[in-house]
Structure 1
Amino acid sequence: MNTGGGDFLGTAMTGDNATAVQLPREALVPAAEVQAPPGLDNLPVRPATFVGRARELERLDTALSSGGQAVIQAVHGLGGIGKSTLAAHWAATRPHGHALVRWISADGPAAVQQGLADLATALQPALAKALTAEALAERAAQWLATHTGWLIVLDNVNDPADITGLLARARDGRFLITSRLATAWTNATTVLRLDILDPDESLDLFTRITTDQHPGRDLDGAADLCEELGHLPLAIEQAAAYLAQNPLTTPRAYLALLAEYPAAMYRNGAATTPAERTIARIWNITLGRIIELQPAAADLLRTLAWYAPDHIPTTLTGPADPPTQNAALGLLTAYSMITPDPATGTLSIHRLVPPPARTPDPEPDDPHRTLHHVAQAREQATANLRTALPNTWDTPATWPTWRTLLPHIDAFADRATHETDTATTADILNRTGNFLDNQGQHARAIRHLQRALANRTRVLGEDHPSTLTSRNNLAYAYQSAGNLSRAIPLYEQTITDMVRVLGEDHPSTLTSRNNLAGAYESAGNLSRAIPLYEQTLTDRTRVLGEDHPDTLTSRNNLAGAYQSAGNLSRAIPLYEQTLTDRTRVLGEDHPSTLTSRNNLASAYRAARRLLEAIAMYQRTLQDMVRVLGDNHPDTRTTRNNLASALEKRAVDGPKLW
């Protein structure tokens, strides 16, 4: 043993072969007696620009300023939301006196051990060459357990189990944790959810970075770009740095690049942007971790990427069995990739998660967004939509479901290309177009129906029954929109082809003939409309039966044509009989029954039977508001008809009563 005042005090024997390891004097000093010299803080360099987060900083002030007991504060949120930035800013701008402040990367057990080993080395440099990393980490844990007031930032914790032992031992200091995980924290942990920036804050961050070297530059589209990026700080910084490096590119132009080249733009930043600090890289890391834990959750995330980001119903999260589905949703929630809303039974996904998730990335280091993955997710999103769709679009009971699904159908249609549309896609678009037309949203209906027809023609062929149905439906939407110059020729050609392919008496052929008669009537061509209505009614009665809803529709429409021709003596009895039969067959509240009542009231009004007309209008309007809603096109029509009848009574009343 060397006792002559040298650096080493003794020798320890380790292992079966008695390997000699000389220990420095510091190793024999109890950890409790080791004092932290000044200057050991190792906080990362903070971003030059920090905006907002006043509420969150105040929460950290409150939580981490209490003394005398262990404080464990976790900040969780989506990747790129600014958790590490917030922690670094708070730690660097708050006074800590003489307390030790250390930053430890904690994305795995090895990283935690290395961070603690570095702390032990900082406290006692002579231990670095004498002890293993494991022994150094243990030395640091002993030091934390026997000292007070320190602040340890555990950054980017992937698994709370990696730090559980440390938190349990070191009870007299402060831990500030950042993590994507929202759950699995101990009861002793105070949790703070970090959300996106407010719109004004994200615009401020973007503006400061882009104008730092080029004040007064064109910022047209900056607010729109921040919104498109979901007010996510990392995405804002990446885009702003790119524009700062490319002063001739405007925010509006960047938006266009983002739309046309999403994979490249999310992967690439400015020359000064580290590769690991890009949106694509952040998502890749998160998705990789999720796949390790549950591949089904990653599949679900890629599927959700095809829908609108907010209010996604759980009916679109299939097809897994309930236990697997619940586990996947729970994991995505834990990683802040989705936000459930129990009150509505829906979930939301940050608007910046979907673009990378549904964009193939050719980079070899990203195995999670291949062409196969993207195509598989698109097909699953299509199947989920079709399964969730109601079978009818003209039944009021189904309308709440339709309205819930509409934003996601529109988003899917925008994000999928015509070339990747399938027969299932066409079915979704065709049904959606019919619903929108029923609701009076003709322009949107036409867009969906045109795409459905183009797809069915390409996939199924011109003479396929579904293609012919799409042509009829598109013609009907043109007619509803008042575009008779496009509706009539399309009907005429469709009927010709239906007769050839399906036959004269096929129900679809009869429907198109009824619709063509309606188009002739709308065009004022009653000489063609009435005979076609009459023949169609005869054929529908023969083929479908007197009480079939389509037969009743033909009777209602023929009565309307008689009324248009001024032949009220034929119109009113036919309306009355049709109303009686519709009430019996369909029920009092069926939309077709309500339509018949409105039409009969109109015939009474035309016959100057105002008392009967007004009473029927009033009852019909009341029922339409209850059944169809206040803003349905049929409700608005009946309201206008009632107002017109009341006005006529006010003017002509003395002559009539």
Structure 2
Amino acid sequence: MADPSDRGGKRVSSSRAAHVQTHGERSPAIGVNYGTVVTGDNTHLVQVQAAAFPDPAQMRPAARVVGLPRPATPVFVGRQDALEQVERALAVADGVVVSQAFVGMGGVGKSELALQYAERARDRYRLVWWITAEASAQVDAGLAELARHLVPDAARAARAEEAAAWVCGWLRAHPGWLLVLDNVTRPSDVAGLLGRLEGGHVLITSRRDVRWPGRTATVRLDLLDPDASVELITAVTGRTTSADRRAALGIAEELGFLPLALDQAAAYIRQSGITPAVYLERLRRRPARYYAKAADGDKAQATIARLWDITLETLTRDAPHAVELAAVLAHYAPDDIPRTLLGGGVEEDVEAADEALGVLASHSMVDRTYRTVRMHRLTQAAVLSKLRQTDTARRTALAWLHAAMPPGDPITEVNAWPLWRSLTPHVEAVSRHYSTGRQPRRLGDVLNKTAIFLISQGEYQRAHTMLTTAVALVEAALGPDHPDVAIPLANLASTYSDLGRAAEALPLEKRVLALTEKALGPDHPTVAICLGNLADTYRTLGRSAEALPLFERALAINEAALGSDHLAVATSLGNLARAYRALGRAAEALPLEERALAVAEAALGPDHPGVAVGLNNLASTYRALGRPAEALPLFERALTINEAALGHDHPDVAIILGNLADTCRALGRAAESLDAVKRAERIASAALGMEHPTTRALQQYAAHLRTLFGAPD
């Protein structure tokens, strides 16, 4: 078998004390002065035992679960027919998933229709949950947030895809639920989810009128009709005379009967205390053709731009701090902006931001709850198009993000993960607002630390994108030979390895080692970490002879600097043993593995995932020595530990299952071998992707076993 476990754990950090990563065959990596264990294929573990997910069928909430972004608007007009159509369509048996897609242009009221249904029908469902679903990663994030609501202890430290998989199992086991997937961009982003669910209802909102997966019926929303438009404006403003109604109709015609625009115009009239006729006169002074050109022909965006021009005129005079806040908010992702982010943690700025937020909410420029703020995408675009000088707002948005980032290591501080999850989309949004060559050094720091969190969650491609920028920024600010360049550079190398691109990691690992040796001297423990990283990359590339002396040097440094019973020594022992095995010297690896396991058990206890690493290593050596009967119980114990600590769908579980399958094959236990490799293949493809080297190795081995045992595909 091509062993898919030929990949190591990595230590990543934003700290100079441990700014590099340690590789080794699924072995712990110990950063200086952290006491943190990082094991396995892309797995970053802390010395906090994670609670196992319970059987989803046995987990029953004490009360109905409702997670909606805000209350539905009390003024809901012109959509009764659509709402009744949805209610009729969803009044069906709950044995299968029934989904409805609301499609239409931006600002037409798709999300509001979904919210109205969810509010009115909430008593029909045991669970109602709203997910912003612009990308597949956001779908997993929304499901993971539901897992954290249902089983907070188990889900707190789980990766998003693991928690999402558990939620899918829970939904299948508990029919009678409603999911809302808001603002879906591509049907493919939700097709997999719809295919895994049963027993509930799904509402999808999207601008795209395309073929949706499964049994999804489409409800197309057009602009409001004139009567409904007038009713919306008069109901919100409270101005209902004949003259007011005539002016309201004129406003609706000017705004193209777009619900979002009508709501914002009505809010302005109400807040400013003017009549609809006065507002209509102001609106007509701003020809639509000018705004259509400014908005690149986007009709809805051009409409909102006209409204913002009027609102800006008033707010600049009466509440300039609200204009400043709107400009900052326009640089974040539109949904779920944490209110704790606003003000940057400075008391007087927080109070000013809260006051400004009230002004913006009164003009329907934002939606707010006690926890989050939402600014519609069209409103964000209008704000940015009208405020030509946004440098100050962009700097403020970045400064607030920097101030809001949790202290400490993003890997080890598990309690800070919910905040990291909420900040990450806003880090990405702010980064997109900076053009190449104009990004500040602070952005590099924010991207590096956020990327470390993403690596801990298994989101390697997002982390890779951030770190590519972070390295460029630090190099531009400090020069390519500054020691601090090694911090994001080592993390970037980690993502190359995580993505199965070891050849691209190699030159980066060499450069990190050179920078670290120059800064700290040749005998520093951090240099040992760098040596381990570089050596493991050589080993992954099939160059174990070049890896061996580097692993030996790393072991010597750690024993001299930290003592023979330090966990870093266990790491080095496991790394060196792996190289011996790769070179056909398994007999020399055996005592190293036995010693490494003893050190790990003494330091961590018998049920820690770091011990599972040592068990897997030792079992692999027994297997290489032709002693599968002695390897089997060690693999089985390692599997039990990792399933309890990491969940049943973690990539590390797939690795051990692959090794277990090979051991069962050697013992002639065909059925167990096939079952184990089949499960390993499924876990790896879901967690790592079909093109990942680990997945491909498991697929090839599974095909080999099926041929060997004459089993069907």
TM-score range normalised by the length of the shorter chain: 0.5 to 0.7
For 1:345-377, what per-residue CA distance to the aligned partner results, in whole angstroms no more than 9, with x for missing partners?
Answer: 444321223334445744xxxxxxx24433433
Residue 309 in structure 1 maps to residue 334 in structure 2:
yes
Please tell me whether the aligned partners of residues 341 and 400 of structure 2 are also in contact (alpha carbons under 8 angstroms).
yes
One-letter amino acid of the counterpart of residue 516, structure 1: L
Residue 53 in structure 1 maps to residue 82 in structure 2:
no
Q: How does 1:541-580 map onto structure 2 within 5 Å?
A: 541-580=559-598
Cα shift at 1:514: 1.4
1:102 to 229, 232, 243: 243
How far apart are the structure 2 equivalents of 1:91 and 1:482? 55
Whose Rg is larger? 1
Please tell me whether the aligned partners of residues 230 and 245 of structure 2 are also in contact (alpha carbons under 8 angstroms).
no
Please tell me whether the aligned partners of residues 464 and 495 of structure 2 are also in contact (alpha carbons under 8 angstroms).
yes
Please tell me whether the aligned partners of residues 471 and 488 of structure 2 are also in contact (alpha carbons under 8 angstroms).
yes
How far apart are the structure 2 equivalents of 1:553 and 1:523? 20
Partner of 1:170: none
Residue 452 in structure 1 maps to residue 593 in structure 2:
no
Task: Classify 1:417/1:154 alpha carbon distance in 2 versus 1 (closer, same or farther; 3 Å).
Answer: closer
Q: How does 1:163-242 map onto structure 2 within 5 Å?
A: none
Cα shift at 1:533: 0.5
Cα shift at 1:643: 3.8
Partner of 1:265: 294
One-letter amino acid of the counterpart of residue 425, structure 2: P
Please tell me whether the aligned partners of residues 339 and 372 of structure 2 are also in contact (alpha carbons under 8 angstroms).
yes
How far apart are the structure 1 equivalents of 2:419 and 2:366? 22
Task: Classify 1:639/1:162 alpha carbon distance in 2 versus 1 (closer, same or farther; 3 Å).
Answer: same
Partner of 1:379: 398
Number of residue pairs aligned between Structure 1 and Structure 2: 435
Task: Classify 1:416/1:53 alpha carbon distance in 2 versus 1 (closer, same or farther; 3 Å).
Answer: farther
Backbone CA RMSD of aligned residues: 4.8
Partner of 1:339: 367
One-letter amino acid of the counterpart of residue 478, structure 1: Y
The share of aligned pairs that are identical, in percent, is 30
Task: Classify 1:571/1:84 alpha carbon distance in 2 versus 1 (closer, same or farther; 3 Å).
Answer: same
Partner of 1:216: none
How far apart are the structure 1 equivalents of 2:361 and 2:453? 33
Task: Classify 1:294/1:573 alpha carbon distance in 2 versus 1 (closer, same or farther; 3 Å).
Answer: farther
Task: Classify 1:547/1:347 alpha carbon distance in 2 versus 1 (closer, same or farther; 3 Å).
Answer: farther
Task: Classify 1:100/1:423 alpha carbon distance in 2 versus 1 (closer, same or farther; 3 Å).
Answer: closer
How far apart are the structure 2 equivalents of 1:394 and 1:556? 22
How far apart are the structure 1 equivalents of 2:610 and 2:433? 36
Partner of 2:618: 600
Cα shift at 1:388: 4.0
Cα shift at 1:296: 4.7
Task: Classify 1:287/1:241 alpha carbon distance in 2 versus 1 (closer, same or farther; 3 Å).
Answer: closer
How far apart are the structure 1 equivalents of 2:414 and 2:664? 28
Task: Classify 1:522/1:559 alpha carbon distance in 2 versus 1 (closer, same or farther; 3 Å).
Answer: same
Specify every segment of 5 or more residues in structure 1 that has no aligned partner in the other structure, as ranges. 1-51, 60-77, 94-98, 108-152, 167-175, 180-236, 243-263, 363-369
Q: What is the SS of the residue equivalent to 1:516? A: helix
TM-score, structure 1 normalization: 0.55
Residue 352 in structure 1 maps to residue 381 in structure 2:
no
One-letter amino acid of the counterpart of residue 295, structure 2: Y
How far apart are the structure 2 equivalents of 1:361 and 1:155? 19
Cα shift at 1:454: 0.9
Task: Classify 1:477/1:372 alpha carbon distance in 2 versus 1 (closer, same or farther; 3 Å).
Answer: closer
How far apart are the structure 1 equivalents of 2:311 and 2:359? 11
One-letter amino acid of the counterpart of residue 380, structure 2: P
Task: Classify 1:547/1:58 alpha carbon distance in 2 versus 1 (closer, same or farther; 3 Å).
Answer: closer
Residue 624 in structure 1 maps to residue 642 in structure 2:
yes
Q: What is the SS of the residue equivalent to 2:333? A: coil
For 1:166-221, what per-residue CA distance to the aligned partner results, in whole angstroms no more than 9, with x for missing partners?
Answer: 9xxxxxxxxx9999xxxxxxxxxxxxxxxxxxxxxxxxxxxxxxxxxxxxxxxxxx
Q: How does 1:465-480 map onto structure 2 within 5 Å?
A: 465-480=483-498
How far apart are the structure 1 equivalents of 2:297 and 2:671? 76
Q: What is the SS of the residue equivalent to 1:419? A: coil
Task: Classify 1:542/1:159 alpha carbon distance in 2 versus 1 (closer, same or farther; 3 Å).
Answer: farther
One-letter amino acid of the counterpart of residue 566, structure 1: G
Q: How does 1:67-78 map onto structure 2 within 5 Å?
A: none
How far apart are the structure 2 equivalents of 1:358 and 1:544? 55
For 1:411-439, what per-residue CA distance to the aligned partner results, in whole angstroms no more than 9, with x for missing partners?
Answer: 33333223232222212222333444454
Q: How does 1:140-159 map onto structure 2 within 5 Å?
A: 156=266, 158=268
Partner of 1:115: none
Task: Classify 1:382/1:483 alpha carbon distance in 2 versus 1 (closer, same or farther; 3 Å).
Answer: same
2:308 to 283, 308, 326: 283
One-letter amino acid of the counterpart of residue 528, structure 2: L
Q: How does 1:31-46 map onto structure 2 within 5 Å?
A: none
Please tell me whether the aligned partners of residues 443 and 481 of structure 1 are also in contact (alpha carbons under 8 angstroms).
yes
How far apart are the structure 2 equivalents of 1:300 and 1:619? 55
Please tell me whether the aligned partners of residues 536 and 554 of structure 1 are also in contact (alpha carbons under 8 angstroms).
yes
Residue 418 in structure 1 maps to residue 436 in structure 2:
yes
Cα shift at 1:534: 0.9
TM-score, structure 2 normalization: 0.51
Residue 428 in structure 1 maps to residue 428 in structure 2:
no
For 1:582-636, what per-residue CA distance to the aligned partner results, in whole angstroms no more than 9, with x for missing partners?
Answer: 3443556665444333333433443455455444444433443443344443233
For 1:9-41, what per-residue CA distance to the aligned partner results, in whole angstroms no more than 9, with x for missing partners?
Answer: xxxxxxxxxxxxxxxxxxxxxxxxxxxxxxxxx
Please tell me whether the aligned partners of residues 446 and 474 of structure 1 are also in contact (alpha carbons under 8 angstroms).
yes
Please tell me whether the aligned partners of residues 106 and 154 of structure 1 are also in contact (alpha carbons under 8 angstroms).
no
Q: What is the SS of the residue equivalent to 1:352? A: helix
How far apart are the structure 2 equivalents of 1:353 and 1:307? 12
Partner of 1:201: none
Please tell me whether the aligned partners of residues 316 and 323 of structure 2 are also in contact (alpha carbons under 8 angstroms).
yes
Q: What is the SS of the residue equivalent to 2:513? A: helix
Task: Classify 1:548/1:569 alpha carbon distance in 2 versus 1 (closer, same or farther; 3 Å).
Answer: same
How far apart are the structure 1 equivalents of 2:312 and 2:454? 37
One-letter amino acid of the counterpart of residue 651, structure 2: P
Please tell me whether the aligned partners of residues 106 and 158 of structure 1 are also in contact (alpha carbons under 8 angstroms).
no
Cα shift at 1:524: 1.9
Higher relative contact order (CA 8 A, sep 6+): 2
How far apart are the structure 1 equivalents of 2:498 and 2:233? 65
Task: Classify 1:335/1:90 alpha carbon distance in 2 versus 1 (closer, same or farther; 3 Å).
Answer: closer
Specify every segment of 5 or more residues in structure 2 that has no aligned partner in the other structure, as ranges. 1-76, 85-105, 110-222, 235-239, 249-262, 280-286, 673-713
How far apart are the structure 2 equivalents of 1:377 and 1:103? 41
